[in-house]
Structure 1
Amino acid sequence: MAVFSKIWAFNVLASRFCTILVVSSAKMAKEIMKTHDLLFCGRPSFVSQQKLSYNGLDLAFSPYNSYWREIRKICMVYLFNFNRVQSFRPIREFEVSHMLEKISKSSVASKPVNLSEAMMSLTSSIICRAVLGMRYEEDGVENSRFQELLKETQALFTSFFVSDYYPFLGFIDKFTGLFHRLEKNFKEFDIFYDQVIQEHLDPSRSKPEKEDILDVLLQLWKNRSFKVDLTFDHIKAVLMVITMFTTFTLQI
C-alpha cells in the first residue's frame, strides 16, 4: 500500500510538472503496468489538446473509459485495418512520385528547392486524398489555407500554456494571445471540416472510386449501430487527430 501511495503521489506530480515518468525497477514497473495500470493509462489534460480534440472526443486524448474503448474499436476495425491502409498505397506512391518529379524539374532548371515546403505539401496532399477524398492544387488557395491551418495547429500543440501548470495564472495566456490563437485556429478548422462534410453529404456528389476515411465515418454516422451516438463533432475530432498525427509521422 505504501508503494502504491508513493506511485500515485508521483503520478499526480508528474502530470503537472513532468513530461516523462522513468521507471527503473522491475518491481515499480509491475506496480504501474499491471497492478495499478488503470491509474496510469491516461494522460494529463492540456488546454490546446482538449480544445482541438473537441474536449477529448477523439482517440488520442480521450480519457480511458467506455467511450474510449468504443471509439478505439471503431477506428481499428473500420479506419486503420490492414485492407484500408493498403487501399491508400497508390495515393502515397503517386504523391511521392509527383514530389520527386517536381524536385527533379527544379534541379534541371537550377532552381532552389525548399524541402520543408515540399514535405509539407506532400503530407497535406496525402492526407487530403486519403482522409477527405480530394487533392488541392499545390499553388491553390485551398491548399495554402489547409497547410497554414496545419502549421498553426502544430505550433499550438507544442506551445507552453501557463494555465496547464498554474490554472490560477491562466489570464497570462490571454495576455500573450495564445487563447485567441487557439480559439481562432479551432474555429477555422471547424468551418473547414463542416464544408468538407457537407460536400460529402451532397446527393449530387459523384461516387468516388474508393471510399476515403470521411466516407467511412459518415456511413457509420448514418448506421448508428454503436454504443456511441456519433455526431459531427465526433467525426471532426477523429479527423483532427488523424490529420495531426499523420502529418507529424510523415514529417519525421
Structure 2
Amino acid sequence: IGNLHQIGELPHQSLWRLSKKYGPVMLLKLGRVPTVIVSSSETARQALKIHDLRCCSRPGLAGSKELSYNYLDIAFSPFDDYWKQIRKLSVQELFSAKQVHSIQPIKDEEVKKLIDSISQSASLKTPVNLNKTTLALTVSVVCRTAFGVSFEGTVLNSDRFNNLVREALEMLGSFSASDFIPYVGWIIDRFSGLQARREKSGRDLDVFYEQMFDLHKERKKDGSEDFVDLLLKLEKEEAVLGNHKLTRNHIKAILMNVLLAGIDTSAITMTWAMTELARNPRVMKKVQSEIRNQIGSKSVISLDDTEQLHYLKMVIKET
C-alpha cells in the first residue's frame, strides 16, 4: 500500500504535515503508483509553468474516465491536438471578454431574483440556506449561458439536479482502489459499492444530458446561437477535432466540465466568502463601508460599480 496509510481522510492536511517534515518536494508511493508532491509556490511554478508540457496531462483515474466518456472532455483529456481545439473552442464561445460581457443581463436578472428571494425570507423571518441559494443562482446562470434556456419550472430544476451534481463531484474526487492497486483494486471497489455508484452517476448524467438536449430543442425560440447549438452543429457536420470525429459523447463530456466546474466552484466560493465575512466582523464592516461609500444611494450595483470595490475584490480573491 506504500504511503496510502499516511494520507487520511483530509489528504491536503496530511500532505501539508508531511511537507513540513520532508520539504516542498516529496516522492510518495500511493499503492503501486509513484507520486510527486509539490508543496510550495516556487515548486508549483516550476511544475505548472516552466515545465508545463511535461506535467499538463492528468492521470487517468476511474472516476474521471467514467464521467468524461473515456477522457473526451477538456479537464481530463491528455494534452494533444484534440485538447487544444476543444479548449480553444470553449474559450472563444464561453470565456472570451465579448461573451462574458454579453451574458451580463442574464447575471443581473438572476441576481435580482436572488435578492428578491432573500428579502422575502427576511420579511418573513425565515432562515436562508446560503449554500442551496448560491447553488441555485449558479445553476441558473450557467445553464442559461451555456444552454440558452432556463430550466426553471422543468423536471431539471429540482433537488434531483443538485444531488446529481454533488454525487458526480464526489465520484470524481473519491478514492478508488483500482487506481492505486492494480489487478485486485477493482474487487475492492465492487465490494465497497463504489463501482456501482460511479456507474450510476454516469448513467444519471447521461440521462440529464439527453433531457437537456430535448428541452433545448423544445424551448429554443430565437435565432441566436449558444454553446450547445454550436456543438450540435459541429456534430451534424461530422467535424474533426484533432484525431476525433465529434460525436454526442464528446458533447456530453465537454458539457460535464461546464456543469461541474462552472456550477460547484462558483457556489462554493460565494458560500465560503459569506461564511468568512460572518466569522470576521471587522472585515465585514470594512466591505460594507466600501460599498456604501462607493455606491451611495443606488439601489442596484452594476458591473461598472464593482470596478471601484477594490477591497471586496481582494476578499473574493482571498476566498
TM over 0.5: yes
Other-structure match for 1:5:
none
Give yes or no for the alignment of 1:57 onto 2:72.
yes
Alpha-carbon shift at residue 240 of structure 1 (Å) = 0.4
Cα distance in 1 between the residues matched to 2:155 and 2:236: 32
- Contact 2:179–2:185 (Cα < 8 Å) also in 1: no
Q: Which runs of 5+ in 2 are unaligned?
A: 1-25, 270-319
TM-score under structure 1 length normalisation: 0.81
Aligned residues: 237
Question: Highest Rg: 1 or 2?
Answer: 2
2:258 corresponds to which of 222, 242, 248: 242
Q: 1:87 to 1:19 in 2, by over 3 A?
A: farther
Give yes or no for the alignment of 1:213 onto 2:223.
no
Give yes or no for the alignment of 1:233 onto 2:262.
no
- Contact 1:193–1:236 (Cα < 8 Å) also in 2: yes
Alpha-carbon shift at residue 233 of structure 1 (Å) = 0.6
Other-structure match for 1:29:
46
Cα distance in 2 between the residues matched to 1:143 and 1:24: 41
Q: 1:219 to 1:84 in 2, by over 3 A?
A: farther
Cα distance in 2 between the residues matched to 1:24 and 1:113: 38
Cα distance in 1 between the residues matched to 2:79 and 2:121: 49
Q: Of the two structures, which has the highest relative contact order with CA contacts closer than 8 Å and spacing of 6 or more?
A: 1
1:78 corresponds to which of 93, 109, 123: 93
- Contact 2:118–2:128 (Cα < 8 Å) also in 1: yes
TM-score under structure 2 length normalisation: 0.65
Other-structure match for 1:160:
175
**Which amino acid is the alignment partner of residue 130 of structure 1?**
T
Indicate the RMSD between aligned Cα atoms, in angstroms.
2.9
- Contact 2:27–2:37 (Cα < 8 Å) also in 1: no
Other-structure match for 1:169:
185
- Contact 1:23–1:29 (Cα < 8 Å) also in 2: no
Q: Which runs of 5+ in 1 are unaligned?
A: 1-9
Percent sequence identity is: 37
Greater percentage in strand:
2
Q: 1:89 to 1:19 in 2, by over 3 A?
A: farther
Q: 1:107 to 1:210 in 2, by over 3 A?
A: farther
- Contact 1:11–1:40 (Cα < 8 Å) also in 2: no
Give yes or no for the alignment of 1:69 onto 2:101.
no
- Contact 1:149–1:189 (Cα < 8 Å) also in 2: yes
Q: 1:11 to 1:208 in 2, by over 3 A?
A: farther
Alpha-carbon shift at residue 71 of structure 1 (Å) = 1.7
Alpha-carbon shift at residue 198 of structure 1 (Å) = 3.8
Cα distance in 2 between the residues matched to 1:193 and 1:19: 36
Give yes or no for the alignment of 1:88 onto 2:103.
yes
Cα distance in 2 between the residues matched to 1:51 and 1:11: 28
